[in-house]
Amino acid sequence: MVADREGGARRTPGRAVTYAVCGAVLLGGCASMPDSGDLRNVESTPRQDTGVRVFAVPPAENASDTEIMQGFLEALTSDDPHYDTARKYLTAQAARAWRPERSATVLADGPGIRAETPPTGREPDSGRTYVLTGSRVATVDGQQAYTPASGDYRAKVHLAQDAKSGQWRIDAPPEGVVMGKSDFQRNYTSVDKYYFATRTKAWTTGDPVAVADPVFVRSKVDPMTQLVRSLLSGPTNWLGPVVRSSFPTGTALKKGTTGLTPDDENRLTVPLNAKAARVGPARCTEMATQLLFTLRNLAPTLESVDLRGPGGDELCDLTESRAGSVAWRASAQSPDNLYFLDGKHRLIRTPASGAGTGGVPVPGVFGAGTRQLRSVAVSRDEHTAAGVGADGRSLYVTPLAAAAPSEPPVLTSQGPTEDTRLTRPAWDARGDLWVADLNPARPRLYVVAQGTGKPVAVTLPELPGPIRDVRVAADGARVALVAEAKDGKQSLLIGRIEGGDSVRAQGGEDDGSGDGSAEAPAVVDPRPAAPDMELVTAMSWAGDSRLVVVGREQGGVHQMRYVQVDGSVLDGPAPAALSRVKAIAAAEDERVPLVAYSEDGIVRLPSGAQWQKLDKDGTAPVYPG
């Protein structure tokens, strides 16, 4: 797993406890099997700092129907690879038909169990019906993709008693698996698998751009093999339209492969089926790059991968040091400088890894202080800057060079007030500039090709309300939007970016019609990234698949924390508390300190330390991007 910055959230594999089986020690806090016929809820197992695996107890002879229900639900939270013990609680036919891998339903607490009484006047059948209840938190689908959920959960489970043996078994189980949030966090871990953006190549190198696709794998059930299978099966449905895989369709692990693990030299051999046997060297290297980027989530010390054909012949190999020259990945790019505006409205830069205070003005117009600015963005190669004027009306782009001339604005807003004009701008990896115009009469999200083309209006889906902030992901495949609803709530949404290549190639111009023409780029299928926050006031990308946000939960106070693009909750501490945060800046490289604009000016959070003042008069901090 890639370590997060000090004080941030770390996605660690789930920690487990054991049940009393095969001589294992029963640890306190486990959900218990009733030794009588009384029905009780299945409580979520408290998380504990232990690497011990969880094994379920098979049904006891002559177990009551309530004991069968309890035992089955507890077996769903075990580390049994194929849920073989859980199947022992089912009838033979139900065990063959049940597909636990197709979905997982996550509840706020362990599922409640209630016996259902047959309606008056209806003859009860020979079985028993129970109802599982709870409050939905999320679902994980067959692609292992996480989706936040809400509302009540209710599912019926039917049991039948075998006429000959008299044993109770479940003949109608719930769909997939169901468990409380605590058990889910213990059983599953979030990892990123990597594909390549279809519409983006790195501006400076022309290399493919890696895009993270977060999924959840069972943390104690051969997670590396699980993750490889997931990667080979292709991207999740949500991300699929904007990424590609270098693995040929149908590529899979060689039949019978399990227990993938690096050797003593941190080298992993991956045997593939015949579908991958005839690829050329360049494509094979891209395949190895996807594997290496993906597997270093679980094995940070992994040094190389070796791809093998079905006969054991070597297809290609790749070292970690070479992978960076094959594809561009945002989290592997460390910025040289941090940028902010000082009290004289000059654009200042200071070393990103430095521990000192202050900085020096950048060369060119923005560093001279002759152009009054309120927000800025610096291109990812740190050669060009974009700035919005102090009144929010105009967007300027200029090289960071001493001889650079003062250019006219590339975009002007007609918004009636400062807070209904242009948002802060943002750059993606291919050098395109993004900014939103908040003019209520004609709100738009624009992209400016290379920062010098004509602004093109981006087609937007229906949103809760007007956009208040926008940060495009480095990969150019996703964009984070803060949208404000009529009740004043501000939500964080992540949308896919589709299309737009023809306009970029032609340097096309927005005709103002906003008709969503096929040539215009479009934001598609936005989904919540912080569903429990009712007010998001600041945000920044802080990794390949996570953001740092400042906001407030319903009935809560302002806080700063990390969120995943899929809306899942990251395991680990939030950044150190900081009051009255007005803006936040983070780099995708998680080793780079967080920076914020607060009541104390520009402050920085160095590794292993508390917030420290950088510039008491500074505003609008940004890293390149």
Domain harbouring 550, CATH code: 2.120.10.30
Better pLDDT: 354 or 262? 262
The reply to whether 407 and 481 lie within a common domain is yes
The reply to whether 300 and 340 lie within a common domain is no
How large a percentage of the chain has pLDDT more than 90?
75
Q: What's 280-305 look like in SS3? A: CHHHHHHHHHHHHHHHCCCCCCCCEE
Query: Average pLDDT, stretch 65-87?
Result: 95
CA angle in degrees (0–180, nearest 5) for 478-484-490: 80
How large a percentage of the chain has pLDDT more than 70?
87
What is d(CA 178, CA 29) in angstroms, rounded to the nearest whole number? 19
The reply to whether 153 and 260 lie within a common domain is no
CA angle in degrees (0–180, nearest 5) for 601-604-610: 110
Q: Select from 101, 89, 55, 83 the least CA-distant residue to 173.
A: 89
Q: What is the pLDDT of residue 405?
A: 84
Q: What is the pLDDT of residue 9?
A: 36
H-type helices in 144-280, by residue range?
Answer: 181-187, 223-233
Last residue of a domain, one of 312, 330, 348: 330
Q: What is the pLDDT of residue 17?
A: 33
Query: Average pLDDT, stretch 246-263?
Result: 96
Residue 11 backbone phi and psi in degrees, to 5: -85, 100
CB atoms within 10 A of CB 518: 10
The SS3 assignment for 244 reads strand
The strand pair at 594-598 and 601-605 is best described as antiparallel
Tens of pLDDT, residue by residue over 295-319, are: 998 999 999 999 999 999 999 999 9
Tens of pLDDT, residue by residue over 171-185, are: 999 999 999 999 999
Last residue of a domain, one of 330, 354, 377: 330
What is d(CA 514, CA 510) in angstroms, rounded to the nearest whole number? 8
Domain count, the chain: 3
State if pTM tops 0.85: yes
203-207, 247-251, 596-600, range with the lowest pLDDT = 203-207
Last residue of a domain, one of 330, 348, 370: 330
The reply to whether 139 and 262 lie within a common domain is no
The reply to whether 173 and 197 lie within a common domain is no
Q: Answer yes or no: is pLDDT of 449 > 80.
A: yes
What is d(CA 595, CA 229) in angstroms, rounded to the nearest whole number? 38
The reply to whether 280 and 372 lie within a common domain is no
The reply to whether 345 and 292 lie within a common domain is no
The reply to whether 256 and 336 lie within a common domain is no
The reply to whether 407 and 502 lie within a common domain is yes
Residue carrying structure tokens 């997982």: 104
Q: Select from 624, 608, 604, 606 the least CA-distant residue to 616.
A: 604
Tens of pLDDT, residue by residue over 334-374, are: 999 999 999 999 999 999 987 777 799 999 999 998 889 99
Q: What is the pLDDT of residue 13?
A: 32
Query: Average pLDDT, stretch 556-562?
Result: 89
Confidence tier at 4 by pLDDT (50, 70, 90): very low
State the maximum Cα–Cα separation within the chain, in Å, rounded to a whole number.
Answer: 93
Here the tokens at position 208 are 């493919």
| Residue span of the structural domain in which 25 resides | 1-189
The reply to whether 42 and 172 lie within a common domain is yes
Q: What is the pLDDT of residue 18?
A: 38
Q: Answer yes or no: is pLDDT of 16 > 70.
A: no
CA angle in degrees (0–180, nearest 5) for 144-145-151: 115
The reply to whether 323 and 338 lie within a common domain is no
- Cβ atoms of 499 and 476 within 8 Å: the answer is no
- Cβ atoms of 450 and 380 within 8 Å: the answer is no
Q: What is the pLDDT of residue 162?
A: 92
The reply to whether 299 and 371 lie within a common domain is no
